Structure 1
């Protein structure tokens, strides 16, 4: 069905009629009042702001409201709601509702009408974006900022593509409930416990339910704790799971994995790739960099590289990105590559939009954390952002991080849906090594070093992920294993939790 675009030649753009089809709107409303069941399909996509005629949009809204209350939506039940409506009086009063149901034939094409109304709304939104772009580009009275204009235009176009040009995605409770049930079904199909994307670590999945769409997850830790290693592990596991699920015939929207956009503001793409190769080949990244590997190791390396060839993991290592530029790039990756998870390493290396952002760093960090949360909601993907911790940790006896240690801004904690801290006691115990005893030293020196060795044995290769904040569930601690040689985190199986052996 062709869209009835009205084009008036040789006329000013202001006098052109915007794309619309009021007859299709009237026919759809009539069909909905005759058969209320049609709303089940239609309301998933169509919203009141997609109607060109405002009165039609209000009628559509009231139909959905009545259906949400389990009431029948018909000209009779809708009549009292429009007695005082001025626009309704202009078309003959509430009797107009009965006129809309005049053609029963509209029921057959209801879905087509809904599709056409939605498409025409997109076209009108595109016209709006285009006009705004032209007006801004021609207006040189303000400070000229072409890059900023391009970024805001791209954001506006993305909103049109994702939301049909609406100012906000208002969902009826019915739609929201269906989404919640789909999430529960996904958790059930994945073996229970995983309602979001997998982290690849069963213990973290069990604690958090995975990584949820629209969530901002902050992963924080002091230098040397392994923040980047854990983020890289999770990014790789999520991308690999997506590849595996697709091979197994699972639909992309039902996969517990996703394509990943990794914004690495600290390490270069090849450094990150080296880490992932080390993790998968079992060869230390240091040996890889120095070329200290055997032929056998090289074969393992080639095998791992071949397996990772098709991995949907996209690394952007542009330094000094602004939060606006990062959001633009993430939107582009969502559109072009269909990514479903964003990782940012790390938050403090991003820049705000302000010209003198260094004057108020706390305000700038607030803008960045808010921007990351907005990105998560806008793209409907989880965003994992790494963050530094203040030195206050080092001054305490117990070096385990707390929420108050999040550096420079309380807004990070406020904007985050989850806050994870990565902590390795081994790092601190190792740095406290006393003098190594040599022959002739007194017993105290030998005793101190022996005590330190016992301490090292207790903490060697262990790490903790401390879930300090979680909107979806309880906080607590998850134990992990960490292989520093290949920078790999894995699940830690506690001897206390092993099943009993029966004779």
Structure 2
């Protein structure tokens, strides 16, 4: 790379990143070379003299072994022609180290015998899946020639075949849930965002037969099941919560029983503490069980525990890390991620704005689609009875379609539903 600018692109394409190098000195040198290359627009070869200056400016020259070591590296390679071959060897050795590290870690976890065995096995499977994903050689189709036929096929279908629909026809006219997209649904407390997320997840999993993961930090498993059952069967939620069912209720439950018993592709994770790593592990676990995920619903974004922020990071930076992490999950698994999000207190009592998202503006930046929910309460302030209130779904941002549309939905809290007004 210090001999030829042309070699840099070959090396970057072959490696997974600086971490593929075993020696920290080589990782430092690699980053310095890439930064020099990027700043020059690829016009200048980052030779040992330039790299020495860059490392000195960063205060990392000694960490890299000093000027003498840089010249030693260059003199050890007679030509840059075989750069790609050398890089592939570095990548493969890094993969072998990861195998050893993963095996050692799993062995230690097995001997420790801490926690539930099923949970430990799931984590182990996720780590192995991560190892496979990290070492698999990909041949991405990046050229226009590669992408053209798929593009034309989509045009002939009239709708992107990868898109998921929602249970609300008026929203489907405007919004598509596409792979790699972060769809953020915001609402004030008790504004209907959990109902929106659960109704959407049930539609995709139960009525479109696509695997879905719901990660809820708001409600436990029994509460989620009560809401799901109420929405699908029409039994009043209060009767299910209080275990006071009459014969008519049991008849309604019987009609959806077979669907529920066979919903092996519908996953509900009610862990009170959730991280991006845990979500990734859950999604990989689904795939390993033969249910590659089609959608993730996170309830809700600001409750996810940050992992990688700096010690002096403020809350806005932490929420930004979570938002970007969810967007990366969408891209990594090729699925839409639906993130429910809380508004600031200032949004209460009025139609919300995108700026009302609690604790971070990064949510707006990272989202492909933003839907803001505004719930109008009944005059008595209570709309959980048989008379439905109204929730406005405001399409505030839509990178793949029109924005500004307001879709009215019927809030039927007594059956844990948001329904299309056209159905009433």
TM-score, with length taken from structure 2: 0.67
Residue in structure 2 matched with residue 273 of structure 1 by the alignment: 225
Q: Deviations over 1:301-324 (max 9, x none)?
A: 132222222122111111211222
1:204 alignment partner, SS class? helix
Q: For residue 194 of structure 1, report the CA deviation from its aligned partner.
A: 7.8
1:294 and 2:269 matched: no
Check if 1:181 corresponds to 2:152: yes
Could you tell me which residue of structure 2 aligns to residue 222 of structure 1? 188
Q: Is the 8 Å Cα contact of residues 213 and 266 (structure 2) preserved in structure 1?
A: yes
Structure 1 residue 432: Cα displacement: 10
For residue 400 of structure 1, give the secondary structure of its aligned residue in structure 2: coil
SS state of the match for residue 170, structure 2? helix
1:264 to partner: Cα distance:
1.2
Matched, 1:422 2:376: no
CA contact (8 A) 1:418 1:470 kept: yes
**Alignment partners' CA distance in 1, 2:183 and 2:402:** 15
| 2:242 pairs with 1:314 | no
Q: Does 1:462 align with 2:390?
A: yes
Shift of 1:421: 1.1
Equivalent position SS for 1:424:
strand
> Structure 1 residue 480 and structure 2 residue 375: aligned?
no
The root-mean-square deviation of aligned C-alpha atoms, in Å, is 3.7
Q: Tell me: CA distance 1:126–1:464, structure 2 relative to 1, closer, same or farther (3 Å).
A: farther
2:171 is matched with 204
Gaps of 5+ in 2: 1-12, 16-78, 83-87, 106-111, 113-119
User: Cα offset for 1:361?
Assistant: 1.4
1:240 aligned residue: 206
Aligned partners of 2:90 and 2:247: how far apart in 1?
Answer: 62
Unaligned runs of 5+ in 1: 1-47, 51-84, 89-121, 140-145, 244-257, 434-458, 496-503
Matched residue pairs, number? 324
Paired with 1:357 and 1:274, the residues of 2 have a C-alpha distance of: 40
Larger CA Rg, structure 1 vs 2: 1
When normalised by structure 1's length, the TM-score is: 0.57
* Distance of 2:308 and 2:81 partners within structure 1: 45
1:198-252 deviations in Å (ceiling 9; x for gaps): 11211111111x2101000001100111111111111011112333xxxxxxxxx
CA drift at 1:153: 6.9
d(CA) in 1 for partners of 2:187, 2:218: 15
The question of whether the paired residues in 1 share the 8 Å contact of 2:212 and 2:294 is answered with yes
1:485 aligns to what SS in structure 2? helix
Structure-2 change in CA distance of 1:272 and 1:86 (3 Å): closer
Of the three residues 137, 151, 166, the one matched with 1:165 is 137
Secondary structure in 2 matching 1:422: strand
Q: Any conservation in 2 of the 1:193–1:205 contact (CA below 8 Å)?
A: no
